Amino acid sequence: MSVPFESSATASALTEALEQLGLPVYTKDAAGRYTHLNAAAVAALGVPAEACGRTDAELLTAPTAGALRAADQAALARPGTSVSEHSLEFGGERREFLGARVPLGGGALLGVWVERSERTRLSGQLQQALHQLEEQQRANELLRSDAENRNAPGEPVRSIGRREQFDDQLRREIDLSLREHREFAVVYIHVDAPPAGSPPHDEAGRERVFEAMGRLLRSNTRAMDAPCRLEGERFALLLSGMGLATAHARMEGMRRQCATQLVPKGGAALRFTVSMGLASFPHTAQTQAGLLQAAETALAQAMQRGGNHVALASIAFGGAAVG
């Protein structure tokens, strides 16, 4: 025998309490027809206000209706309250719900929805923001440590250098490499344009992204390395005494960091990716000009692959380049 919603004092009291909390609440009869939906349920499911007397199959897409019907049947097959997670599409938008269903007897059902989509998105953004704050704190601590431990009086605090500073250190590193027979790596970095279909960053947004790139370079390098901004969206990095394999692993890690960065600007969060071209001395080239050209060529290859990529320069064996 079916138990109508109105005849169940307990169900009525529970529904009223849930509605006071602003939660979507509904009841269905044994045939799956809605016998009650509050305003929050109508809004959550995206169904018309006059949905009572109709089934999910009449109101929603076939996949969504099928998923809800299966969950209803599973809840009716067991005693007590059933809780399940749903990732459903309403109006072309994928949304996440936590649903609780209570059998009322005779195949009738009381259901409550809690939407999790916004909570999940905000939680993910919060975690990213906290991680980014931690990275910023580490970068600030590094700069403070540099200021307190200068090698000589008047030596400036380490920061992103200029092109001439990079070139000077590159010449010194080549001399050191030739004397001590050790290798080092050079990386050319290009901040990718936003993907097709995404709005371009304005000038202020671009500068925020470049500042974030500079912070990442500084926090991911050592005192003996030389990061610098070349011009516009281009950066360079000299990794002193570092072999090609280690340098590649470091740059892959930095590439992933860039792709997950949130750059705050005007209440929004900008994102960016980078392309990197990596070359080493003396394995890739034995001259300064040859080394920089090899890094340039590798960078072009990374950009041709769609960006967000680290490309390695070819290594010459007996005069033949092997890439």
To the nearest 10°, report the CA torsion of 259, 265, 267, 273: -10
Record the tokens describing residue 116, joined without a space.
């999790």
Return the SS3 of 288.
helix
Q: How far does Cα 268 stand from its chain's mean position?
A: 14
Residues 98 and 172 in one domain: no
Residues 198 and 281 in one domain: yes
pLDDT of residue 153: 41
How many contiguous H segments (helices) and E segments (strands) does the chain have?
Answer: 9, 14
Confirm whether 153 is domain-assigned: no
Q: How far is CA 197 from CA 193, 194, 203, 305, 306, in A?
A: 11, 8, 18, 18, 14
Asked whether 183 and 286 are in contact (CB, 8 A), the reply is no
Record the tokens describing residue 256, joined without a space.
């992933």
pLDDT of residue 152: 41
pLDDT of residue 128: 66
Confirm whether 210 is domain-assigned: yes
Confirm whether 173 is domain-assigned: yes
Token pair 């939906």 is at which residue?
A: 37
The CATH number of whichever domain residue 167 belongs to comes to 3.30.70.270
pLDDT of residue 174: 96
pLDDT digits (tens, 9 = 90+) for 217-235: 998 999 999 999 998 899 9
What letter represents residue 216's amino acid?
Answer: L
Confirm whether 33 is domain-assigned: yes
Residues 141 and 189 in one domain: no
Residues 206 and 309 in one domain: yes
To the nearest 10°, report the CA torsion of 176, 226, 317, 298: -160
* Residues in the chain, pLDDT under 50: 1-7, 150-158, 319-320, 322
Asked whether 315 and 322 are in contact (CB, 8 A), the reply is yes
Residues 220 and 74 in one domain: no
Nearest in space to 99 (alpha carbons), one of 51, 153, 44: 44
Asked whether 81 and 100 are in contact (CB, 8 A), the reply is yes
Return the SS3 of 68.
helix
pLDDT of residue 323: 52
pTM reported for the whole predicted model: 0.55
Write out the residue range of the structural domain in which residue 123 sits.
Answer: 117-148
Residues 182 and 42 in one domain: no
Number of domains in the chain: 3
Confirm whether 154 is domain-assigned: no
Confirm whether 11 is domain-assigned: yes
Residues 106 and 171 in one domain: no
Q: How far is CA 290 from CA 71, 130, 177, 282, in A?
A: 65, 42, 15, 10
Residues 62 and 88 in one domain: yes
pLDDT of residue 177: 95
Q: What is the radius of gyration, based on Cα positions, of the chain?
A: 30
